[in-house]
Amino acid sequence: MFVVGIDIGGMTIKAGLIDENGKILQKAVCDTLPERNYKEIVKDLSKLVHTLCEKQGISIDVLGGVGIGSPGAIDCNKGIIVYAGNLNCKNAPLVQELGKYINVPIYLGNDADCAALGETKYGSGEGVANAIMVTLGTGIGTGFIINNQILQGGLGIGGEGGHICIEVDGQQCTCGEKGCWEAYASATALIRLTKEAMAKDKNSLLHKVASEQGEVNGRTSFIAYKKGDKTAIELVNKYVKYLATGLISYVNVFRPQIIILGGGVSNEGEYFIKMVEDYVKEHAFGKSFNKICKIVGATLGNDAGIIGAGMLAMGK
Amino acid sequence: MFVVGIDIGGMTIKAGLIDENGKILQKAVCDTLPERNYKEIVKDLSKLVHTLCEKQGISIDVLGGVGIGSPGAIDCNKGIIVYAGNLNCKNAPLVQELGKYINVPIYLGNDADCAALGETKYGSGEGVANAIMVTLGTGIGTGFIINNQILQGGLGIGGEGGHICIEVDGQQCTCGEKGCWEAYASATALIRLTKEAMAKDKNSLLHKVASEQGEVNGRTSFIAYKKGDKTAIELVNKYVKYLATGLISYVNVFRPQIIILGGGVSNEGEYFIKMVEDYVKEHAFGKSFNKICKIVGATLGNDAGIIGAGMLAMGK
């Protein structure tokens, strides 16, 4: 069976033709141009599906289905993007609209959930029934897999795991509230923490690193850390603590078998993942009598979303 | 069909013979004497089951099963109490041991999970598929119902929802960590907050109320609040905020249809539940475009655990 998985990003839309083993056989991309009306975006989704089938030399009719991962609050059952700030979408019936062009089953899910599904089916969490995927980017994306199923939420829209409060009256979050985990542990938060550390210590190596990089970014702190800069060491330890604090809350509630870290920050390397895992294992509830899950880096990279969206269509 | 539901508490063990409509037909209790070896406790569980059947005039053989709710970390699949501080139990194979005395299917679950199951089947959350029950007592007990099923956790033991961090490096919790929600929003925490408020304001009505009660307890703050005491008003608002902070995190992740508050504090009345609900609805993620769940008080009281344990045996 072939399915198509589509990952709608803020900049580009990535699509893949996938076989029953989760392998991407063909790829196609287009610009998102997110300011457009969703009906224009849907026309491009249709074109992508046609392109993939042509490349593979198959008819659209033989597709098992099309799965779409979109940012924002998604009503999976109704196939609607309830709200997506990045896409300028509100109550957009994406599945119904695409159905005007393509006569195969179409499924819609949240992009972070799709990535989680992809990683637990064919990535670093392969074969694991209970997993949490956390993507550290501009914000924090989360996908919770419970007994092989995405946690959809009881009101038809998925969860927003970056917005658990870890500090009452804490740091301002983009969501309008204060103290959200995302405001402490996203890549954006790491950059803020780095700038704060630099402002406090004018002699830190962080300044030299940032100057060489031409900016302060998500890697600045780690470069100085590995060179033994004291302020950078404090900074990275603080960031690990913030990141682990949210993970520990999820470990205590979900007791997953595995946590998968994705996004740019997670590419820092094994040593960083190990620091996070050690902190979680040291502070999770019942550490003396309970098994605590392992923490790993994601392995599918940008393909996770495409593959996971395809899995929606494959019913896996 | 009849089943027996058993709720093991720190002081007493409560058992009920339940019919297929969730109605308790017969009740029996005994002391827990929690310092005993679990094998002694199991003998009493067997006696309770026999007593209930005798009272009803039925043979044990006609029972559909026996369900047991126990405090602590439970491995439901193996029927083992992994660890329960209150019971002095570690890796106790409760189901296997009770099976020596009673030849019907036996099921074991966490007591907070059973209460959540009871309330969503026959209490204030009747008929709701996705619910969270939060019991405010010495600690905070949580039960998450997802698509009519208890969230068991991927490592064989249930979640500990009172131990999500709401304040990094915050208040010391009994679990050994700092900043847990339980340390801010349990009845115990409310009493601590009350004492702190009293120490700061020697003229507060709280002193008179506590003196009349003979102690500072979970009701002190509310009594002074209702009489318009300024310090008590600040205190209750602060407690509502702490309680709501944890609830909001769960709303953002699980999007439940309902949250059920149980335990002594939740009996304070409709006005208190409404204060909590209002705060949650004002601060939950996506409040402008998402439906936010309602919050209600539990209605089954102490029977929730018995009925929920019975539901385990009924496979509901």
- Verify whether the Cβ–Cβ distance B154 to A161 is below 8 Å: no
**B138 and B119: one domain?**
no
Report the phi/psi class of residue A127: left, alpha or beta, with left for phi > 0 and alpha for psi in -120 to 50: left
Q: Using CB atoms, pick whichever of B159, B164, B245 lies closest to residue A168.
A: B245
**A69 and A155: one domain?**
no
Which residues in chain A touch residue B257, judged by CB atoms under 8 angstroms apart?
Answer: 154-155
Mutate to test the interface with A, among B173, B250, B253, B258 (most CBs of A within 10 A): B253
Please give the residue of chain B at the shortest CA–CA distance from A75: B290
Q: Using CB atoms, pick whichever of B146, B157, B283 lies closest to residue A255.
A: B157
- Verify whether the Cβ–Cβ distance B159 to A253 is below 8 Å: yes
pLDDT computed for residue A138 by the predictor: 87
**A59 and A164: one domain?**
no
**Would you tell me which residues 235-254 of chain B have a C-beta closer than 8 angstroms to some C-beta of chain A?**
241-242, 245-246, 248-249, 252-254
- How many beta-carbon contacts under 8 Å exist across A and B? 149
pLDDT computed for residue A316 by the predictor: 67
Task: For residue A202, give every residue at least 6 positions away whose Cβ sits within 8 Å of its Cβ, in sequence order, or none.
Answer: none
Q: Are A114 and A75 in contact (CB under 8 A)?
A: no
> Rounded to an integer, what distance in angstroms lies between the CA atom of residue A6 and that of residue A13?
7
Interchain CB contact of B271 with A (< 8 Å): no
**B83 and B151: one domain?**
no
Which residues on adjacent β-strands are paired with residue B294? B258
> Rounded to an integer, what distance in angstroms lies between the CA atom of residue B181 and that of residue B168?
11
Mutate to test the interface with B, among A238, A240, A255 (most CBs of B within 10 A): A255
**B166 and B248: one domain?**
yes
**B112 and B145: one domain?**
no
Q: Are A235 and A110 in contact (CB under 8 A)?
A: no
Phi and psi of A164, rounded to 5°? -90, 145
Q: Using CB atoms, pick whichever of A73, A248, A283 lies closest to residue B289.
A: A73
Residue ranges of chain B with per-residue pLDDT less than 50: none
Task: For residue A169, give every residue at least 6 positions away whose Cβ sits within 8 Å of its Cβ, in sequence order, or none.
Answer: A178, A179
**B59 and B180: one domain?**
no
- Interface confidence (ipTM) of the complex: 0.91
**A212 and A63: one domain?**
no
**B310 and B288: one domain?**
no
**B152 and B196: one domain?**
yes
Q: Are A35 and A88 in contact (CB under 8 A)?
A: yes
Interchain CB contact of A158 with B (< 8 Å): yes
Along the 316 residues of chain A, how does pLDDT read in single tens digits? 999 999 999 889 999 999 999 999 999 999 999 999 999 999 999 999 999 999 999 999 999 999 999 988 899 999 999 988 778 888 999 999 999 999 999 999 999 999 999 999 999 999 899 999 999 988 999 999 999 989 988 776 767 899 999 999 999 999 899 999 999 999 999 999 999 999 999 999 999 999 999 999 999 999 999 999 999 999 999 999 999 999 999 999 999 999 999 998 999 999 999 999 999 999 999 887 778 899 999 999 989 999 999 999 998 6
Range of the domain at B29: 2-123+302-314
pLDDT computed for residue A89 by the predictor: 85
Supply the pTM of this predicted model: 0.92
User: How many domains does chain B fold into?
Assistant: 2
pLDDT computed for residue B316 by the predictor: 66
Interchain CB contact of A89 with B (< 8 Å): no
Task: For residue B54, give every residue at least 6 positions away whose Cβ sits within 8 Å of its Cβ, in sequence order, or none.
Answer: none
Q: Are B82 and A290 in contact (CB under 8 A)?
A: yes
- Verify whether the Cβ–Cβ distance B164 to A252 is below 8 Å: yes
pLDDT computed for residue A241 by the predictor: 98
**A286 and A187: one domain?**
yes
Interchain CB contact of A85 with B (< 8 Å): no
State the CATH number of the domain containing residue B68.
Answer: 3.30.420.40
> Rounded to an integer, what distance in angstroms lies between the CA atom of residue A1 and that of residue A18?
8
**B69 and B182: one domain?**
no
**B212 burial type by CB count under 10 A (0-12 exposed, 13-18 middle, 19+ buried):** exposed
Residue B186, both tokens: 């349990």
Please give the residue of chain B at the shortest CA–CA distance from A72: B286
Q: Which helix (H) or strand (E) holds B63?
A: strand B63-70
pLDDT computed for residue B220 by the predictor: 98
Please give the residue of chain A at the shortest CA–CA distance from B169: A167
